[in-house]
């Protein structure tokens, strides 16, 4: 019974570690996405400021 508990605890620890890594990866991807969106919005704002919004 003790051996089973130790194995289960190890599996739980590995699962928690993977979940933490996935969360960190998600946060990193979200930050990169938000940076790209901010640059795109800035480009749109600048084009509108210059009166170029109708040019494709």
Backbone angles phi, psi at 52, to 5 degrees: -110, 20
pTM: 0.68
Place of tokens 């170029």: 52
Query: Domain residues for 44?
Result: 1-56
Backbone angles phi, psi at 50, to 5 degrees: -85, -5
Instruction: Indicate if the alpha-carbon torsion angle 20, 25, 28, 29 is positive or negative.
Output: negative
Number of domains in the chain: 1
pLDDT tens-digit series, residues 1-56:
899 999 999 999 999 999 999 999 999 999 999 999 999 999 999 999 999 988 76
């Amino acid at each position: 019974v003790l051996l089973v508990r130790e194995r289960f605890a190890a599996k739980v620890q590995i699962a928690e570690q993977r979940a933490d890594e996935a969360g960190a990866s998600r946060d990193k991807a979200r930050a990169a996405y938000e940076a790209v969106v901010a640059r795109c919005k800035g480009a749109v704002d600048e084009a509108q400021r210059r009166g170029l919004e109708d040019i494709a």
